Amino acid sequence: MTALSASSGTRDGNASVRVADALRDAIVAGDFPPGSRIRQEEIAERFGASRVPVREALKMLEADGLVTLRANAGAWVSRLSLDECDEVYQTRERVEPLLLRLSAPHLDAEALDRLERLAEQMAQTTEIEEFLRLDRDFHWSSYAGADTLVLGDLVRRLWSTTQPYRRAYTRLIDAHSQRIVHDEHHMIVTALRDGDIEAGERVVEGHIRRTRRLLAQHPEVFTAASTTP
């Protein structure tokens, strides 16, 4: 490989990662709903990249479960069926408590104070997207102390694939359920402050299970998105 081609390959690689990160954020933010078509030329224009790094970025997101690539047909934002979503949430119920257990001993007072502030901010906001951003920040901050080889990446992928359904859940819950969600966030912080990791694990497990059970009562959530061919 010549110096010129090596440099070009590096640039394309960096551009692919940049586009993948930006497109991942856009999908998680709801800019591209489940089942919607992703047109490479539009993505290239939107993120200021050529078609080659866009194709590579889409392959990265396919590996994350966020994008479905179809030969000779293009790319779509992945969509879960009710059964698939149920399975992902059941997996999260089991693995996220473990991730919290691995993280908890490494969270200092400053980290716990930040979790408390995030919990309070979530309780005060009335904006769904703001709540989702704070909620993601809260849970990932609670897992930040874990140094894992596999588990952290697995949970990130599961979070990304279920983000549209967390958004739907947030729109579905009533005021009583909202209070429970906020109380659970505070209970997680209290358990971490007390060093009661088992209690924290139980709250996280129930927190995730509640979302799964409510979504199972609303199958229309899984048919309302744009359809793929």
167 in Cβ contact with 132 (< 8 Å): yes
Give the span between the Cα atoms of 43 and 91, in whole angstroms: 32
pLDDT confidence bin for 30, thresholds 50/70/90 = confident
Q: pLDDT tens across 128-171, in order?
A: 999 999 999 999 999 999 999 999 999 999 998 998 898 889 98
- Average pLDDT estimate for 28-45: 89
Judged against a pLDDT cut of 60, whether residue 88 lies above it is answered with yes
Sign, Cα dihedral of 17, 20, 23, 27? negative
Is residue 157 within 8 Å of residue 64, measured between CB atoms?
yes
Please answer whether residues 50 and 39 qualify as being in contact, where contact means their C-beta atoms are separated by less than 8 angstroms.
no
Q: How confident is the model at residue 73 (pLDDT cuts 50, 70, 90)?
A: confident
Confidence of residue 229 (pLDDT cuts 50, 70, 90): very low
Please state, in angstroms and rounded to a whole number, the distance separating the CA atoms of residues 101 and 204.
Answer: 11
Residue-level pLDDT at 221: 87
Q: What domains are there in the chain, each with its CATH number? A: 3-77 (1.10.10.10), 82-222 (1.20.120.530)
Amino acid identity of residue 99, one-letter, is L
Q: Return the percentage of the chain with pLDDT > 90, whole number.
A: 69
CB atoms within 10 A of CB 188: 24
pLDDT, tens digit, 9 for 90 and up, residues 194-208: 999 999 999 999 999
- The pTM (predicted TM-score) of the whole model is 0.84
Distances 168 to 29, 34, 93, 164, 216 between C-alpha atoms, Å: 12, 12, 19, 6, 12
Amino acid 225: pLDDT: 52
The answer to whether the beta carbons of residues 225 and 169 sit under 8 Å apart is no
Quick check: 117 pLDDT over 70? yes
